[in-house]
Amino acid sequence: MADLAVKYMGLQLKSPLIVGSSGLTNTPEEIRKCEEAGAGAVILKSIFEEQIHSEVNQEMQTANFDMHPEAAEYIQGMTRDRSVSKYLSLISDSKKAVNIPVIASVNCVSAGGWIDFARKLEEAGADGIELNVYIFDIDHRDDSKEIEERYLHILKAVKSQVKIPVALKISSQFTNLASIVRRLEFDGVDAVVMFNRFLHNDINLDKMKVTPGHGISSPDEFMVPLRWIGLLSHETRCDLCGSTGVHTGEQAVKLILAGAKAVQVTSALYLHKIDYLKELNAQISGWLDKNGHKSVNDIRGKLCGKDPSIAKIFSRFQYMKYLLER
Ligand SMILES: Cc1cc2nc3c(=O)[nH]c(=O)nc-3n(C[C@H](O)[C@H](O)[C@H](O)COP(=O)(O)O)c2cc1C
């Protein structure tokens, strides 16, 4: 049977499949189930920068960031339920419960007062840190370049605190993804997770209300990371991890062919339960065996933009061709 082992962020994984940050990785028991089902690693449920701030500052009023009072109240509530010390215990207890890498996750927007906390994550035993940088700026006076700089500031600040590897989970919505990935790489990022999935909104016409969008992805969404990993993997030295819309082992194989080092799965596990990981791993090794490949590492990047004809298909050319032929 084909070898599924990969190295991601310098960590040895027995499968390229990582359980994405979510409620599926919120207790040591759940994490043990992930390991038993064949996960290569887990990303813990995120702790929010605002939660850390809130505890650091004791009272939200003294926190050095702007926040709507309702949001502050909500975060205070979350913090009560899920304190910083609980998060550190989650790391140390999970490390005792499993042998697979346990990667902590911080959802953040700045390199502010929470940065020292990164060291505590390392001290608690985290094998790595994934930063979900979610900057949602709607102020027209803010400069795009300055916003991009914030990603780099956060990365550099965290890297200065820890020795464990650091990944950034980013959105696909940058004017020039190639440039931001290159700059993150230059500043020492160990991996870039492509991509974070925003929760969109909808409008309920009967109730005339704006409603939260669907939290679960659809398989079609994997084409966005497929394209970008396909375009960037050959010219990127840090690891790229595919995330969003992966619901089958074949999709994971496609991302690896495009150049991904590892692949995160979340929605599919909510839909089919954790044991579905066994099926996903079997689909990956089944495809490798059927096509005569000995390992996942043998196929990585075989269909990426290094080949100009593939780059053409992943890029604007395909769009022009499609429209001109119709
Ligand atoms: C219920 C749920 C909770 C999630 N919680 C987090 C979180 O705490 N931190 C985070 O970075 N991403 C979180 N995510 C996003 C996932 O990690 C993942 O990026 C996203 O769902 C896209 O991957 P998928 O298509 O495999 O679901 C969550 C997703 C779901 C469905």
Interval 116-145: pLDDT, tens: 999 999 999 999 999 999 888 899 999 999
- Asked if 192 contacts 168 with a C-beta cutoff of 8 angstroms, the reply is yes
Domains of the chain, by residue range, sit at: 6-324
Nearest residue (by CA) to ligand 1, atom 4, is 22
Q: Of 85, 87, 134, which Cα lies nearest the Cα of 110?
A: 134
Cis status, amide bond into 314, omega within 30 of 0 = no
Ligand 1, CB within 6 Å, residue ranges: 20-23, 45-46, 105, 107, 132, 169, 196-197, 215-217, 243-246, 265-267, 270
Confidence of residue 325 (pLDDT cuts 50, 70, 90): confident
Summarize pLDDT for 290-313 with one digit per residue, the tens: 999 999 999 999 999 999 999 999
Probe residue for ligand 1, chosen from 27, 197, 243 as the CB with the greatest number of ligand atoms within 8 Å: 197
Ligand 1 atom with the smallest distance to the CA of 195 is 19
> What is the C-alpha to C-alpha distance for residues 315 and 305, in angstroms, rounded to an integer?
9
> What is the C-alpha to C-alpha distance for residues 306 and 298, in angstroms, rounded to an integer?
16
Q: Which amino acid is at 246?
A: V
Q: Is the pLDDT of residue 74 over 80?
A: no
46 CA distance to ligand 1 middle (Å):
9
> What is the C-alpha to C-alpha distance for residues 216 and 264, in angstroms, rounded to an integer?
14
Fold of 6-324: TIM Barrel (3.20.20)
317 CA distance to ligand 1 middle (Å):
32
> What is the C-alpha to C-alpha distance for residues 36 and 308, in angstroms, rounded to an integer?
41
Confidence of residue 62 (pLDDT cuts 50, 70, 90): very low
Q: Of 64, 12, 10, 15, which Cα lies nearest the Cα of 36?
A: 15
- Cβ neighbours of 294 (radius 10 Å): 12
Nearest residue (by CA) to ligand 1, atom 14, is 22
Q: What H or E segment, with its residue span, contains residue 194?
A: strand 191-194
> What is the C-alpha to C-alpha distance for residues 275 and 17, in angstroms, rounded to an integer?
13
Q: Please name the residue that has the structure tokens 């969008």.
A: 213
Q: What H or E segment, with its residue span, contains residue 210?
A: strand 209-212
Q: Which is more confidently placed, 195 or 83?
A: 195
